Amino acid sequence: MSSGGPEAGLEARVVVRRGDLALDVSLTAAAGETAVVVGPNGAGKTTVLRVLAGLTANAPEGHVSLAQARLDHLPVEHRPIGVVFQDHLLLPHLSALDNVAYGLRHRRGLGRSAARGVAGDWLERVGLTGRAGARPRQLSGGEAQRVALARALALEPALLLLDEPLAAVDAAARTELRAELHRHLATVAGVRVLVTHDPVDAASLGDRAVVLEAGRVVQVGAMADLALRPATSYVAQLVGTNRWVGRGDGRGGVVVGGVHLDVPVAPAGPTVLVVDPRAVTLAHHRPTGSARNVWRGSIEAVETGAGVARVRVGGLLPVVAEVTTAAAAELALVPGTDIWVAVKAVAITAV
């Protein structure tokens, strides 16, 4: 998180009404901060970015200011921005070097030699010195996205916009490119706004998440804070947390989906509960331990990765559990299997 104050940052209200889209989003970010805009398909994420870039018109009541200067009436080419698109949009007839140099010549007014010199430095920074002469069709997806990143960063933008920058990169290259992107973002003194649907990208690249649903901001905060108190079911799914809505009896009991849960503290009336998937225990036989909350379910899906298995259990009270892949194999956790679920009362938080 940067120490740059609001006077050096972004302050915007994006309002777009088009067809089924009714977008009204307020967004602020400090200089040196990466704000990640996340949300389901159709929430308006890319439209927000396009309005900030000047590619989509804002409604009259909307506004975009950067370092207290209004950008609303500036054409795209006069805005102090750099943009990295999902499909990189490199000029096909230019080499990687000249793609990076193009903006330096036309946006910053550098001569051909000076622009190519700066462009060469940036290609070296992103590890593509040996590919300077390659045309876009000769580059891999990861290489093309590195060129697009170099092209944007070379402009030293006051506002860097990134629209799903890793979505078109194959899985094998994504982890490496994500680490590179994180490293390069830290060198940008201006505001960074990144749009993604990937929770890993949001957690690893952003300082703060802005969650959109149906054209509105539903929650703002660090991913870790969102995990503790997810405001909606989508946010809970995004951060990998169980979120249940039930009714408390005012005496430490909450009924959710036909299951009575004991919790440390719960008010009477409508109550939202949050449970970390790592606090959920699965067993083939009814547990006899200290957990007071036990119910039956059926395994619907098992997703594995990085030594961890996320197990989605359906039934009266759907839940996601997280166990090691070794434990999943030992328990033979496969879809269609009936399973006992146990959660200790102290592991359940009423929010």
The domain total for the chain is: 2
> Can you give the pLDDT at residue 240?
87
User: pLDDT value at position 77?
Assistant: 84
Within a domain: 321? yes
- Helix residue spans in 154-269 (DSSP H): 171-185, 199-205, 223-228, 233-239
pLDDT of residue 314: 94
Name the stretches of the chain with pLDDT < 70: 1-7
Residues 333, 203 share a domain: no
- What is the Cα–Cα distance from 108 to 80, expressed in whole angstroms? 10
Question: Is 209 inside any structural domain?
Answer: yes
pLDDT tens digits along 223-282: 889 988 999 999 998 888 999 999 988 777 899 988 999 998 777 889 899 999 999 999
What is the predicted pLDDT for the residue at 3? 39
229 and 247 inside one domain:
no
Neighbours of 348 (CB within 10 A): 23
* 271: phi then psi, degrees, rounded to nearest 5: -140, 135
Would you say residue 1 lies in a domain? no
Q: What pairs with residue 216 in β-bridges?
A: 213
Both tokens assigned to 265: 């503290």
Give me the helices (H) in 18-170, please: 45-53, 96-106, 112-125, 141-153
Assess whether 293 and 345 both reside in one domain. yes
Q: Are residues 50 and 129 in the same domain?
A: yes
**pLDDT score of 234:** 93
Q: Are residues 134 and 277 in the same domain?
A: no
* 34 burial level (CB within 10 Å; 0-12, 13-18, 19+): buried
Predicted local confidence at residue 7, as pLDDT: 59
Burial of 248 (0-12, 13-18, 19+ CB in 10 A): buried
My answer on whether 271 and 215 are in the same domain is: no
Q: What range does the domain containing 183 cover?
A: 6-233
